[in-house]
Structure 1
């Protein structure tokens, strides 16, 4: 798993290699280009996935709606297939799966196709069932992922979906050419910024040492980073067997704040972009209730530093690209806690790499 966490800079680079041409300000994705009319005529996009891929879909919802102004719904494939959903020929269904073999996602694809929707697949494994069953698609090129807890698959899925959103935004005219170029140049710097975020590893290990015996964790994020909070909590559950919950930071007042005391570590994603002041105010509420705060902040941040017990810095980037960086320290934190608790991080109990049964 640690190897795969450290492979993320090269995996992200491989994912946009040949697709992202920042000098020419072009995104080349044949699966999108060949079906551009369908994408532009779509009433909405429905994303179906399970587990970590579902979290990547949630990030994509924010990105597609923000950049391309296309309505998006994100569904658990297992729920979607059983609830008689309203699907028409004017819908595009994006199915996300690392293995391309996930049983529920496959069933959701078959249902969507039977209703006449256009289905686009985002997979990592070449020639997998989902890659064959979908009308078009894009591979993530993350390379083989052996660890059961998904790391590089998550960041490369977000990379592919971001490229798609940018391409559609440009085609729809919801983004100016200078904005488009700016996003491409910034996306191109992400691999080196992920590399920089990985340098916090030693410090994350010291934080892990302090909280390894906690029985509960709370993860909070807003906007683009709310799905990252969910993903961070899932990683901790999967490999360390510690109960963790991810919440939108503002929802804390609607229940979870009752859980906060001096025994409760709270991981807060508080990057400079987005609803920064609101998140800082959430941190103050946690502080006043004696919660232990681990802040994921933009490099050079001072406000959160004064309030949090620990801060882990990530480089600055555009708001829509922050999930690719903020997820890194959360992966490392889960990994170190699990190793300290002597868990089998690559093959956690009761879990399979790809869920091929219902």
Structure 2
């Protein structure tokens, strides 16, 4: 007796979900029955909306099932959208469940990006603290042309559990506007949190930022550009400072000239590359003014906050020299900086979810965001 097409699909989905329920890793050991979307978003270490084989923490056979088009990566929204979910009577998708121990205030409008609202998710501890807490703001990656704030909820939830308020923000992508729109939106988010510090229980003098890949570039730029007027933008809250007190930069570009001339990375110089799109198009080399304006290294001075910089030595997307260069430049300026190179690690992946790396980030943030006496 032959199975019909719909029955075979039903069996495949059942097997996939069964495997997913058994899929465990350090990243999810503290959660109760996380959804497959939660798991995939946590694996998506550079927040580009896709999970590669290197990033995936589940069994290989499950990866093959979820990689529907066989291109070597899982599109999170496509996988989740294809799963049969019963909707409420109002026809709207239910909000994703917050990670255990935190409350998520979703889609808080923090300013204007051009003519539209910009939004962030604010992640608060479930138990109301007795005094203001430091904030940790996550900025997603995705080559400045993709990604979203959604994966950042899981990124900051672990830090919130250590006595922080968290936020994960959106910013205009290059399909909407070139640089400096991206950093203007990030700075607006910091100013918003300072303006509304009392409302969310934040100490406005203790704000840290973290991000990976393109997000690593933007947090490094937040750290070095301080109150540089030409990058502030007009999104809102101009009376507040956009300075931050600590930076966690995960494999972000920092010197575009050195980046696109590094052996094996020359394709990033071409028109149409993510770096080209950020600068408004054309070859990267030759756009000296644009390169200088976009490079975090340009703005370094001795007033910059401490940096923690983490990069894989085998990164095929952003060369490790980008982290080495900014580390050396910060040291030369007298800024406290720590560089951690993960031997053999690529562009994100499970090595960055290792307990040693997570402890390194948490310890760094706690050290540099202690309350002033």
With the length of structure 1 as denominator, give the TM-score of the two structures.
Answer: 0.33
- Larger relative helix fraction: 1
User: Which one has a bigger Cα radius of gyration?
Assistant: 2
With the length of structure 2 as denominator, give the TM-score of the two structures.
Answer: 0.32
Higher relative contact order (CA 8 A, sep 6+): 1
